[in-house]
Structure 1
């Protein structure tokens, strides 16, 4: 009889799953939802804090180039550092196969120091991330608990409020931030930079980043195509209060993949080809870093889909305004409505990534011909290059609308230049013009109108100046 009870107890234990406990960070189980599911089939327990070897590297405006190490178990390391309890603290947490002393983390800190006084802490868990993917995905839980331990120590010893803390996590690091946030009531903000899909998409909220993990959670998706067969590392699932899908969230300009990258072994992907294969995935932190120095260059538009956005159906910004993707997303008035919100925008294909969206409406004049129409904006801050506005039959009196993403904010628009061509020899030398062009910047409610009574031949620039309102000279 004793043997039967032993077997029963053993089976119950197997069903319950194994559990492992570590000092200061608590216990971790490999039962559902952490394992034994379709999304997480393997039973893997996270490594110990000692084996992961997480380091907290503090940079401040006083020590922007060399870090000071903080230990969550030793408050005296904070006492001896440049940590300032009256300033915000932003943690930057890397992801799979990455490391905390990689240049992009420090570059992000340095951009912050240009615009604010802040404690910038790079979380280095490279020993725990440079292993098999499944193990790294489980090590996330211990690293998140260690970040929470650090926040608890700051709160207990320095009365430092979690509301002053912003966790910025890339890839697996986004889920580290989620784990830390779920253990830290009142955490101010989490930014998920392309949260990784594998082992997390479709799991319960306790496993992954979700809006309950901080007072405000914003997410940037740059590699949301399915992992198989497109090798998209990031998740398409909305995980924040505001989810941003730049360029549609799947293929970033300047990141064209080739057949070499069609590998499906996550563990073999990164070595030596990280920047090439994972280009879309890495764009998320590059956009964020640039957004720190470009407070109005990443305006994002609420929209049902990227197709609708590209079809000019989501312009201009609604009355509530548009959030800025990245560093300044928390300035958006409606940032934490009950419903999760989706936003779209376009970026450039390399530095600089910032873009400013303009809407154009053009009323044509002159002859009826086939051709294309281009427009350039000239303002007190600079001018754009020429953008295609219309192709087809150019008819006098017809009006056409379009939108484009300019590489700069031209400021106050002073004039607009119009150009047309059709690349067909026409012995009659037809003349075409723009009677009126109205321009609107995406974040503004007002349109500005420019007029001309002239017409021009093909490939000759026509300058339109502000329309004269009745009664003005």
Structure 2
């Protein structure tokens, strides 16, 4: 039987070079069943190698088990477990591999200096600046220094400015990565990794290079080589970027031989060719980094051929063309990465458990400061884990993501067919999206049709959308009588790159009926938008378009990239929040040399940044709410006023600045001399603070607190502003509350904080919201192992990490939740028994999930309804079950009492 190594080599052989007249055995025979020794021979496959030294390797004696080979300087290598992933192959000699290190700088982008760990003089004479980033680029199988993509990536990296200023080393190990010896090449990753480690040690000793400024970028086998290089320096590299790490001989193997997130302080991976063909694949599907991007699902890429086309090309004698096709998807990973460095459109990616769920719009929750960006700038993303995105089929590959949602009426008759949404601006169709994906989809009452699509450019201002319904044909009456219309009660279009949401103007009392009485009869569905932050299901906003920040409506150029390029060397971004006004941002930066922090107020247009304010966070720093939906900052006797764009942004910013100030008070009074570089730039504008009188009337404050909490429980906080809440309060009181603005803002944040955090009901039991369920870091920090999702509109975010139970119910009085409480009790009891935390959540953690937790306390601890309710209410004061659930809790109390009085025998 052929070993995995020989099958890998055979696959690469067949896909790489012409078969001439060689006899080919069908691939399924190779992958799925044993072969007789003489069924196929490597001698039947032509070997074309222009390098005699490489061809000579084939004639040497094959290595044996338990073989150890040693080379001067680089040390010894064996083929024992786990280093038997390449069969019995051991790394070839350094002389044969002939690794070269080509060093480039901005001043010398085309004439490299050759570095050698064996020659100190080659390092001493090189213009190596330890304050710059050192980017190391490593190719994979069949590539070398002449590979076009390496030159493109090198040039893009050399063009980086300020904090990302870089020198580049190209690692050429082409002699050790030649056809057809894939197993040798796989084994040689260990040798080349060790050689890079020796070079890095020399750079530390002779040039003062810090490993905290070393970034290794590897494609295919080069990705695993980066891991080996970091292993050689105790895994101290700052970053590794793996571009579709090679799958054959590495997938499923131990982390000692393949790229893994423990190999560097930050590891980001792009998967672009994990499609399994013949039992093998060019790329690995395994999660290998802190953040793994699966472009278009990580399988074949748009514009690249399918596996069937590849097999057809090989069988048809077009092996060279087939290889180019095979490497198309594999090579897209470095194409995406290269474009991401100076791209003018985003490479946004979203956390999800699989690609189909992402495309169905089930995974749209991202950190408040934005989603992850695939490619070079992924290190600045807050998200971790598996991320999914879509791209275009041709360069530029980046694009904008949009989410469309149609909610169908509950009383609509069942039908079948295809539903389309066409999006228009100035009467020009921008996109046409199929919401069902096929022409004969079953469509039922209450269905929610969701779909994510990408478009090559920003849609800009959307004026309206048109909904089309094409009923499926029925033959001979099969399938029964079906309706001739769909009834849409709600529609929504969301831009996923920014915070725009376009929402239909109808509710359940104003349904839109789309019929098929006429061919493709259509209804114009007026849309408008509002600023939101959390990407989840929203109620309709009633904010008119003329009150929305024009920056988010007109200017969609990726501002994050522009901000990062603006920063000076050794200054990192720790926090960014959009502000009200014309494209304004508050940016908190930290100097990596001394951990001092400061705030920059920035104004952006399409291609430049204006520096409005510079605020050191020092001992005299003070932040306070100003009563106008914003906050004042006092530092160095100067006043500054900022207004985040909504309530959530205000809350996050206020808490972040308070935490930074607490850290500063524990340190010495900093000088912040590093800010002089920013002070030298002209300030574009200055703001004056707002001052308001604060009233401390206990009675009116108590009434305000009670009423404000009631209002905040009724509305969707992602779709409202502080001004909206102030107006609702004043309408409720029938008077002006201007004198109480600062108090209102303060308690607004207190209420929001309680609603934003999961509440500990018991040491192992937590009650929370959708936001808590989507916060992976919070779940891990609290030791959560079980998640009870009491909703039908929220998906399970991390099924690969936690045990889930989903009770699909809505927050309606007529919903029978009581029948589910036995299942939910057993689930929470299991978490307790296994000493794991359990989060119970719905949309807001107020009604459905709260009722379920109360029912659990009543049964598990023999509590009365009053005792259990007060226990939960004391810890989470926003708890408010609807009237139907309250009545069911009363019934449940009676059922439990009866069981205790008359236990079953």
Q: TM-score per shorter chain, which class? A: 0.7 to 0.9
Q: What is the CA–CA distance in structure 1 between the aligned matches of 2:297 and 2:396, rounded to whole Å? A: 18
Q: What is the match of residue 569 of structure 2?
A: none
Q: What is the CA–CA distance in structure 2 between the aligned matches of 1:443 and 1:155, rounded to whole Å? A: 41
Q: What is the CA–CA distance in structure 2 between the aligned matches of 1:54 and 1:270, rounded to whole Å? A: 29
Residues 41-440 of structure 1: pairs in structure 2 closer than 5 A: 42-116=87-161, 117-131=165-179, 132-185=181-234, 186-229=236-279, 231-257=280-306, 259=308, 261-262=310-311, 273-294=322-343, 297-319=346-368, 321-335=370-384, 341-362=385-406, 372-376=419-423, 378=425, 384-389=430-435, 400-410=449-459, 413-418=461-466, 420=468, 422=470, 437-440=491-494
Give the alignment's TM-score, normalised by structure 2.
0.44
Unpaired stretches in structure 1, ≥5 consecutive residues? 1-13, 336-340, 425-429
Give 1:363 shift.
6.9
Q: Any idea what the Cα deviations from partners look like across 1:83-131, whole Å, max 9, x if unmatched?
A: 3322111111111111122111011122223443311221111000014
Contact in 1 for aligned 2:104/2:169 (Cα 8 Å): yes
Give 1:269 shift.
11
Bigger mean CA offset, 309-318 vs 45-54? 309-318
Change (3 A) 1:334 1:396: closer
SS at match of 1:163: helix
Contact in 1 for aligned 2:272/2:299 (Cα 8 Å): yes
SS at match of 1:248: helix
SS at match of 1:402: strand
Contact in 2 for aligned 1:192/1:218 (Cα 8 Å): yes
Bigger mean CA offset, 56-65 vs 457-466? 457-466
Change (3 A) 1:383 1:124: farther
Change (3 A) 1:373 1:251: same
Q: Any idea what the Cα deviations from partners look like across 1:394-447, whole Å, max 9, x if unmatched?
A: 999997543212222345x352343647499xxxxx999999753322255662
Contact in 2 for aligned 1:295/1:324 (Cα 8 Å): no
Change (3 A) 1:304 1:434: closer
Q: What is the CA–CA distance in structure 1 between the aligned matches of 2:523 and 2:323, rounded to whole Å? A: 46
Higher Cα Rg: structure 1 or 2?
2
Q: What is the CA–CA distance in structure 2 between the aligned matches of 1:64 and 1:80, rounded to whole Å? A: 17
Change (3 A) 1:295 1:159: farther
Contact in 2 for aligned 1:383/1:410 (Cα 8 Å): no
Q: Any idea what the Cα deviations from partners look like across 1:219-258, whole Å, max 9, x if unmatched?
A: 11112133524x5211122211112211111221111236
Out of 12, 19, 24, the position equivalent to 2:68 is 19
Matched, 1:29 2:93: no
Contact in 1 for aligned 2:248/2:281 (Cα 8 Å): no
Give 1:215 shift.
0.5
Q: What is the CA–CA distance in structure 2 between the aligned matches of 1:459 and 1:115, rounded to whole Å? A: 53
Q: What is the CA–CA distance in structure 2 between the aligned matches of 1:59 and 1:177, rounded to whole Å? A: 19
Q: What is the CA–CA distance in structure 2 between the aligned matches of 1:111 and 1:418, rounded to whole Å? A: 42
Contact in 2 for aligned 1:93/1:123 (Cα 8 Å): yes
Q: What is the CA–CA distance in structure 2 between the aligned matches of 1:397 and 1:237, rounded to whole Å? A: 37
Q: What is the match of residue 466 of structure 1?
A: 528
Contact in 2 for aligned 1:190/1:218 (Cα 8 Å): yes
Bigger mean CA offset, 413-422 vs 112-121? 413-422
SS at match of 1:217: strand
Bigger mean CA offset, 456-465 vs 436-445? 456-465
Q: What is the match of residue 503 of structure 2?
A: 449
Q: What is the match of residue 6 of structure 1?
A: none
Unpaired stretches in structure 2, ≥5 consecutive residues? 1-62, 473-483, 530-540, 547-905
CA RMSD, Structure 1 to Structure 2 (Å)? 3.9
Q: What is the CA–CA distance in structure 2 between the aligned matches of 1:444 and 1:357, rounded to whole Å? A: 10
Give the alignment's TM-score, normalised by structure 1.
0.79
Contact in 1 for aligned 2:138/2:219 (Cα 8 Å): yes
SS at match of 1:51: helix
Change (3 A) 1:270 1:170: farther
Q: What is the CA–CA distance in structure 2 between the aligned matches of 1:372 and 1:242, rounded to whole Å? A: 35
SS at match of 1:200: coil
Contact in 2 for aligned 1:210/1:239 (Cα 8 Å): yes
Q: What is the CA–CA distance in structure 2 between the aligned matches of 1:384 and 1:436, rounded to whole Å? A: 21
| Superposed structure 1 runs of 4+ greater than 6 Å apart | 367-371, 391-399, 430-436, 452-457, 470-473
Contact in 1 for aligned 2:359/2:453 (Cα 8 Å): no
- Number of equivalences: 438
SS at match of 1:166: strand
Contact in 1 for aligned 2:269/2:291 (Cα 8 Å): yes
